[in-house]
Amino acid sequence: MKTRTTATRFTLGIAITAGALLPAASALAQTPFYFENFESGRVGPEWTLNTRIETSYPTLSKFSGRYSNDSVKLRLAQPIVILPGGATGGGDDGSGGDGGGGGGSPPIVFSVRYTLTFDLYVVDSWDGLEARYGVDRFSVGINGVTAFNEAFSNHAQIDQTFRAPDASFHANANNYRDSVYRRISLNFTLPKGDQIKVRFADGGLQGLNDESWGIDNVGLGYQVVPTPAPLALLGVAAIGRGRRRR
């Protein structure tokens, strides 16, 4: 199954992750530190108590769901990251460290950029941007900031705000396709020491028998990113989003 990645960038705290302004080689490799595919049939204490495991969709194997008019939350401590120059980031010191800079060059501030990835399953008769029965939306919040908020449709004739699905299937032998969106990716930074708090939710659906969703292959990783000092002085909680295809 072909995988596509859609990225959303936003920042929390004191550093702007200016990846587009920096050479790719100037950032360190992505380091994974959490992954859950729900195949064990159990979830750990990092998930809220209402987290369910769906087993009746053999095409998809086990996943977290199904949910309707509901949300599920993930909470994790930030990992302790050793930044260049000897400072620590993530769970210990957050977003500090500098790499010096001789010859009058500006100092480099290193921050920790996190990446959340997940698969989304949109099940049954989601109505996308159809105002009469929708708008049917799925959202992701990270530490109280909306990082993802898109309308989805399982009707060929009704528009949605997100890209086309990676795959479709019919689980309930009904007239509606069920859609698979692989490896949705969200980038973010956090203030030092803050717990990572992720909330997956819908915007109000018509119940499990009509519209529902699930998530799978939830992963978190981090990357150490150098940021020129003048950029680090930009405002808190700046949000930048790529344009969505309709």
In angstroms, what CA-CA distances link 217 with 77, 117, 119?
Answer: 19, 8, 6
Q: Which residue has the higher pLDDT, 170 or 205?
A: 205
- Condensed to tens digits (0 to 9), the pLDDT of residues 60-118 reads 899 999 999 999 999 999 998 887 776 777 875 444 454 444 556 666 777 899 999 99
pLDDT of 10: 38
Task: Give this prediction's pTM.
Answer: 0.77
Q: How far apart are CA 114 and CA 91, in angstroms?
A: 12
More confident residue, 89 or 203: 203
User: Does residue 19 have a pLDDT over 50?
Assistant: no
pLDDT at 83: 77
DSSP notation for 187-201: EE---TTPPEEEEEE
Query: What is the structure's pLDDT at 92?
Result: 53
Q: Which of 214, 212, 166 is nearest to 38 (CA)?
A: 214
CA distance 140 to 127: 19
Average pLDDT, the chain: 79
Other beta carbons less than 10 A from residue 41's beta carbon:
8
Type of residue numbered 236: V
Q: Identify whether the C-beta of residue 194 lies closer than 8 Å to the C-beta of residue 16.
A: no
